[in-house]
Structure 1
C-alpha cells in the first residue's frame, strides 16, 4: 500500500468533484502537496491534532502561518491557474487527507497517525518534488531532522536511491569526507534552483493573470464570491433573537447550529442555507464558540462577522467595547470594532413599518397590464430596507415588496433600473462604500432570482456620499443608511 497513491486516487477525486476549471493544474498541485503535508506532519506531529480540531484548516495552518511560504508554494505548484483557485483547492484537501490517513492507520489518534506516516516514509520521500529540501529549509524545518537519506536530500523526488553500485562505491570510496564539504554547496544550489523556479513562476503568472480573465469569460461568467457572513443579535434579556448565516460550507453551518444549540439552548433559531455565491469560511471561525459565549447575556447586542471585519453593536457602548476587548486576542486576523446601536427602535421602527406598508400597497395598486416603470420606482422608494449592522441580508418584510416589484418588471422588459446603496458616516469610508455596494447587489440579485432579467438592473455603492439627513444624530444616521431606486437613462 502506498499512501501517496491512495491520496491521489481518493482525495483528489473527492476535492475536484464537480470542479472542471484548471483541473490539470489542480491535480498537479495536489500531487505535490500530499508528500509535503505528510513530511511536515512527520516533522511536527503536534500539528496533526491542531489540524484535526480545525473546522476548515488552511494552507497557512500547515505552514505555521508563514504566509510568504504559502504564496511561494502556490507559485511553485500552481502552474497557469489563478493563485486563489489553487489555494482553495489545497485548503479543501487537508481534512479529507487526514480522514484517509485515519482510515488507513485504524485510528485518528495523533500518535498512531505519526507512526503510520513513519511507516510510509519511503513512499512519501520518493514522491517529494525536487525542490522540497530547499522549501523545507525556508520553513525552518531541519532537513536532517526530517529523516532524508544522504542521497535523497539531493534527488529523492526522482527515484529512491538504493542500488548495489552505489553501495559498492560508498564502500570503496577512499575520500568519504568529501561529502561533508559538498553538502553545504548542494544545499545552496538547491536553494538557488528553488528561487529561480519561483521567479520564473511569478514572471509567467503576470501575463496569465490578465489573460485568464478574458479566457474564463469566454466560457463562463466571472463570479466574485461574497465573503461568508454571520449575524447574531440578542433581545432585551440577552437571549438570542436573531441568527443568520451565509456560506457555501455545510460543515460551517452545521457547526454554527450546533454551537447555538449548546450555548443558547435555541437550536432552531439560526437561519442558514448553503449558498454557492458565498465563500465557505469565516475568518478566525475557530473562535465561534468563544464569540457566542461572550455575546450571551448582553442585552440588545449584535455581531456582524463579515470578511475580515467583526462589528459589535449595543445600546451601551461600554458593553460593546468590553466585548470587543475580550475577543480581540481570540481573532487575530479580524478587525474588531465596537459601535453604539443607532436609533432603530421606537419612532424609527414605526417609520419602517409604515413605509413598508405604504410601499407594499402602492405596488399592489399597479395593474400588471398597465405597469409603468416610474410608478414601480416610486413605490419601491417608499420602503425602508433596514439592514442589520454590517449586513447585506434583506429583511423578510422587504422581500414581500421586492417580490411584487419583480413581477411587474417581468412585464416591463425594456425597463432599466439603478439600485443605489448608501450608508451613514460612522466607520471607515472605504468599508462603508463596499458595504453599500454589497447591499445594492443583494437587492439586484434578489430581484433577478424572482424573475427580473440581469440586463434590467445595475447596482451602485455610494457609501457615505450624498447624505439626506444630519449624521451627527442617531436618527439622521438611520435615515442615511438607505437603498434608492432610479430609472436608468
Structure 2
C-alpha cells in the first residue's frame, strides 16, 4: 500500500470533524493530527478496544482511558495547548467513530485483527507521526512502543543495560517535575494576570454553540418508543437522559445521540423532560420535538395531541407547546400536490447533502422519509416522481453496505383491513425491488406491510387518509436511530 495512513485520516476524518468549525480551528486540527498516531498505537496493542468502541453509539476518550481516568486529563492538558480541554475533548470524541470507519474501509473488514494488520503494515508512518511526549503516555497505558521504534533505531542502542536506563530516568524525573511545576506556575500567573482577557474567550467558546439542544422521539401503535434522537453539547447530561429514557420506556437501546460543541449544553426547562416523557409514553403514534423554547406535539389522533399538550404546558413554563398537525387540520385543507413536490424536493436536497465518505443509516432513512410516495388507488406502482430520489439513495447504499433499512408500507382505513395489509406489503416490496434493481444488496433491505394499523392522521378526512397512505424508512433492527448495526443480542432484546 502506498498511502500514508496518518495523512489519509487527516484528509478524511479531520475534514468531517472540523466542517463548519470557526473557533480554534488550527489548534483543533493540530490536536487531531497528534491524536491519530496515538489512537492507532493503542489499537495496535489492544485489539479488544477496537471491538469495544465499535459497539459504542458515541465512542469517547473516556472509553479509551477507562482504566486510568486521571491519565485522560493529563493527556488532554498536553494536547489542548491554550484551548480549553473540554473543547478539544469534544473534537477528539467526534473523531473516533469516523476514524474507525476509515480503518474498516482500508482494511476491507471491521474485524479488529484486520485493522491491527493494517496498522502494522503502516507502522512506519504511524510511529514517525507520534509526538515526542506520546511515548510516556503510551507507557503509562501499559503500551510498549519499543518494538515499533526499534525498526527505525540504530542497532547500537540495544546493548545499553537496563540499569543504565534506570540511572538516566532517576536523573531526569526530578528535572521533568521541576519543568512541569514551572509550567503550571506560569499558567496560573497568566490566568490571574489575564483574567479580563480570558473572559471574552470563554464567552466566544460558549457562543460557538450556535444550535439549541434538541430532542426528537416518536411512539408506535401501543405508545412504545420507536424512534429517538438527541443533540446536545453536554455528553454527561446526554448519558443521564439516556438512562431516563431507557427506564421510562423500558427500552434497552435508548436514543441515537450527537454530542458536539455546535449544540447548547442545556435544554430550556430540561428538568421537566422526564415528567414530559412519562406523559408521552402510552400515547399511540405520537411524536415530540423539543428544541429551543418550542415544544411540538403531534399524534395520529388530533385530540390526543391537544390533550397531551395541555398536560405538558404547565410543566414547561418557559416554553411554547404547539400541536402543528392538529392546528393545520383545523384551519386549512392540504394541497396534496404541493405537499408531494415540497417533500420530494426536500428529500433530494437531504440526500445530496450526505457526505459520501461518512454515510450513516439514520441519515439515509431520515432523508427518504421527507419524500411522499403517493401510490395510485389499489396500485403498487412507484410514481415516476420518486424514482430519482430512490436512485440517489441506491447510490449511497451501494457505497455503504452497513446501511440497512426497513421499508414500511401503510394504507388508510378505507376498504377491507386484510386487503389493505396485503397492499401495503406489496408497496413496501415494490420499493425494495426498485432499490435492488439499482444495485443495492437485498440483504440491506427488509419490506414490512402494516396496512391501516398505524395511522398518523385522522382517517375520517381526505387529508388524513392522504397522510396515512405512506412509505416509511427505519434503520433495520433498531427503532432508536442507532447508526451502527445492532448485534444479535440487541436484536433479540427488542
User: TM (normalized to structure 2)?
Assistant: 0.45
* Greater C-alpha radius of gyration: 1
The higher-RCO structure (CA 8 Å, 6+ apart) is: 2
